[in-house]
Structure formats: C-alpha cells, structure tokens
Amino acid sequence: MTDDHSGFWTEAWAQLRPDMLSGVVEFGQYLRLWAVVLGAHLVRLIMATAGIEPEITKPVALMERWVFIASFASFFWRVLLRLYHSTKRPLR
C-alpha cells in the first residue's frame, strides 16, 4: 500500500517537475522585467522630485505603462499556451 503511494508520488513528481521548474524560471524572467520597469518608475519619481519638467518624464511614463501591459499580456499568453499544451500532451 505504502509502496503504491510512493510510486504514485514519484511518478507524479517526475511528470510535473520539468513544467514546474520551467514555470518558476519563467516567472523569474518576468520578475526581472518588472524589476527593470519599477526601476524606471523610481528614476522617473526622482526626476519629478528634482524638479525636472513633466514633459521630459512623460515619455518614460508612457513606456513604463506599455511595457507593464505588454509583459502581463505575455505572461498570461504563456499560461494559456502551457494549459493548451498540457491538455494536448499524452501522459507519459
């Protein structure tokens, strides 16, 4: 009984491991991108605080906003792609 269970979990882990690891790695890549965007946001705040004209900080704000939107879109398209792929993939 115990052996059967341990076999199940070992098999489950063997099947899930590549997806989980790659999912975590991918999330890290998005986190890095978001950290860069937050860094740009911080620079913009400091520029604004230092009294730099808002006209100069505007393009940074525009890029910031669209990179955020595009990165979230990319993230959720990836999740959809993985879900679709997992429904089509036969169990090993």
Partner 1 sequence: MTKLDYYLTQDHAARQRTMLISVSVGALAGMLAELLGAAFNVAVVVCVLTVGGLEIIRAVSYAPPVRKIIQSSADFQETRRYLLGLVYSAVGCLAVAFWASPRVEAMVERKLREATAGDPPYDKANKLIKSALQNDIRINSATVEIVRRKVAGTHSRVTGDVQASVNLTLAQLDAYQIYVLTGIKLNVVPRAVFLSAYTYSVNDTIRVNWGPNIGEDRSRATINAVDFNRAQSPAIFSYEGGGSRDAFVSHLTATSTMSGGAFVPPAFIQRDSSPSKLAVFDVTVLNLSQALDDIIWVNVTFDRCRINYQGGRLQLKWVTFKDCQFNSENESARAILDRIRQQGTNSMTWGIP
Residues forming contacts to partner 1 in the complex (CB under 8 A) are: 18-19, 21-22, 24-35, 38-39, 41-42, 44-46, 48-49, 51, 54, 57-58, 61-63, 66-67, 69-71, 73-74, 77-78, 81-82, 85, 89
- The residue among 12 and 46 lying less far from partner 1, judged by its C-beta, is 46
- The residue among 5 and 90 lying less far from partner 1, judged by its C-beta, is 90
Tokens of 85: 């792929």
- CA distance linking residue 84 with residue 92, whole number of Å: 17
How crowded is residue 71: how many other Cβ atoms within 10 Å of its Cβ? 16
Tokens of 61: 């704000």
